Homo-oligomer: A and B are copies of this chain.
């Protein structure tokens, strides 16, 4: 069953086709190429990085029930099979076959893959595309570029030029940048471009211990501004992880409105800024996407994680954000189930919202179909120049 065959409502043909049309997944990660233990599989269907408490399981989550409901049939099982049955069948088929089935059935026409958390155990962008029967492009994780520069450059002065050169070199082979400044620092960073002197001094300190994850606020800001410069030259968007995320994050510092100053400062430059996930700040992000012409939003991994409750979140984004500012991105990572469920619940949520609007006589059929195409692929094609 294709993701789109599981729409929860009747829709006019044109709208149904628009919802089922192949999606551009503008932000996902590679999935594991190897067979997984139950413990590892469980942590990959949640944002937690530890096992569930004794006597409980991460399968007892909205996403866990969704895996059993929607992914099981793709492995030839009945819906709702117990976790152990699902995982046994998964092992029997092998990771390659499971990945192939789930990625292909997600109905994706292009994967834009954040390669920042790479490793030989994860599929590359090209492999994601090949298995999923889709095109694939790379999104450059800016912190990864910085890490490589910090590990190889000679001085604070060369740090600046090497960072520029490396960002430009990466940009030549990629369709966008992504930043995780929310995680080591928070989005409440000083929006001003730091002075060259301050950057050199901070870089010299950083070179004393270049293996550490970048945490210096001056260098984080410098990195963002260096990326903005390169992105402007290349007409590439810059993505930000915001809101819902891993336990290392301080959630109250991941509210995207905390970076309103930076958004305002970059507005004349015109580089598209994409606020990702955002939950529970997606209505705050909606405000930004509404008033700033270069701000875009998605709800990322949230549909897959809220699963049976995804319609509410998808609906809350549709409530205010201009339709030319919304994107589909699964933020799938680790296991192909997250990519598949991301596409499925995005489509189910959107289908439900469109059906309500059509039934209430609010939107015309052509408008509903057009909005579905814009969010599902058109906006991504435009800003990523696909």
- Which A residues fall within an 8 A CB radius of B? 8, 46-53, 55-58, 60-62, 65-66, 69, 79-80, 244, 246-247, 250-252, 255, 257-258, 260-261, 264, 267, 279-280, 283-284, 286-288, 290-294, 305-310, 312-313, 315-316, 318-320, 322-324, 353, 356-357, 360-364, 367, 371, 374, 382
Q: Which of B247, B356, B357, B364 contacts A292 (CB 8 A)?
A: B247
* Chain B residues whose CB sits within 8 angstroms of the CB of A283 once the complex forms: 279-280
Q: Which of B48, B62, B280, B367 contacts A293 (CB 8 A)?
A: B48
CB distance from A296 to the nearest CB of B (A): 10
Given contacts A69-B362, A308-B363, whether A324 and B52 have CB atoms under 8 Å apart is yes
* Contact (Cβ within 8 A) B309 A320: yes
* Contact (Cβ within 8 A) B319 A309: yes
- Name the residue on B nearest A246 (C-beta): B291
Given contacts A283-B279, A362-B69, A382-B55, whether A309 and B305 have CB atoms under 8 Å apart is no
Q: Which of B52, B69, B251, B257 contacts A260 (CB 8 A)?
A: B251
- Name the residue on B nearest A244 (C-beta): B287
Q: With the chains together, A157 CA to B80 CA distance in Å?
A: 59
* Contact (Cβ within 8 A) B62 A319: yes
Q: Which of B293, B353, B361, B374 contacts A51 (CB 8 A)?
A: B293
- Name the residue on B nearest A367 (C-beta): B65
- Name the residue on B nearest A321 (C-beta): B61
* Chain B residues whose CB sits within 8 angstroms of the CB of A353 once the complex forms: 309
* Chain B residues whose CB sits within 8 angstroms of the CB of A357 once the complex forms: 308
Copies in the complex: 3
* Chain B residues whose CB sits within 8 angstroms of the CB of A80 once the complex forms: 363-364, 367
* Contact (Cβ within 8 A) A252 B247: no
* Chain B residues whose CB sits within 8 angstroms of the CB of A284 once the complex forms: 251-252, 280
* Contact (Cβ within 8 A) A290 B47: yes
Q: With the chains together, A294 CA to B374 CA distance in Å?
A: 41
* Contact (Cβ within 8 A) A308 B8: no
- Name the residue on B nearest A263 (C-beta): B247
Q: With the chains together, A150 CA to B335 CA distance in Å?
A: 55
* Contact (Cβ within 8 A) A47 B257: no
User: Which 8 residue pairs of A and B lie closest in terms of their CB atoms, listed nearest first?
Assistant: A280-B283, A309-B319, A56-B324, A251-B257, A308-B362, A80-B364, A247-B291, A252-B257
CB distance from A338 to the nearest CB of B (A): 14
Q: With the chains together, A57 CA to B322 CA distance in Å?
A: 9
- Name the residue on B nearest A46 (C-beta): B290
* Chain B residues whose CB sits within 8 angstroms of the CB of A287 once the complex forms: 47, 244, 251, 279-280
Sample of 18 A–B contacts (CB below 8 Å): A46-B290, A47-B290, A55-B324, A62-B319, A65-B362, A79-B361, A79-B364, A80-B363, A244-B287, A251-B257, A251-B288, A279-B283, A279-B287, A306-B319, A309-B315, A309-B320, A309-B353, A310-B319
* Contact (Cβ within 8 A) B60 A323: yes
* Chain B residues whose CB sits within 8 angstroms of the CB of A48 once the complex forms: 290-293
Q: With the chains together, A14 CA to B46 CA distance in Å?
A: 28
Given contacts A60-B374, A279-B283, whether A294 and B251 have CB atoms under 8 Å apart is no
Q: With the chains together, A369 CA to B361 CA distance in Å?
A: 25
* Chain B residues whose CB sits within 8 angstroms of the CB of A50 once the complex forms: 293
Given contacts A290-B46, A319-B313, A320-B62, whether A250 and B255 have CB atoms under 8 Å apart is no
* Contact (Cβ within 8 A) A53 B293: yes
- Name the residue on B nearest A70 (C-beta): B362
* Contact (Cβ within 8 A) A252 B246: no
Given contacts A250-B260, A309-B316, 12 further A-B contacts (CB under 8 A): A47-B291, A49-B291, A52-B324, A55-B382, A60-B371, A61-B323, A69-B363, A80-B363, A252-B257, A279-B287, A280-B286, A312-B315
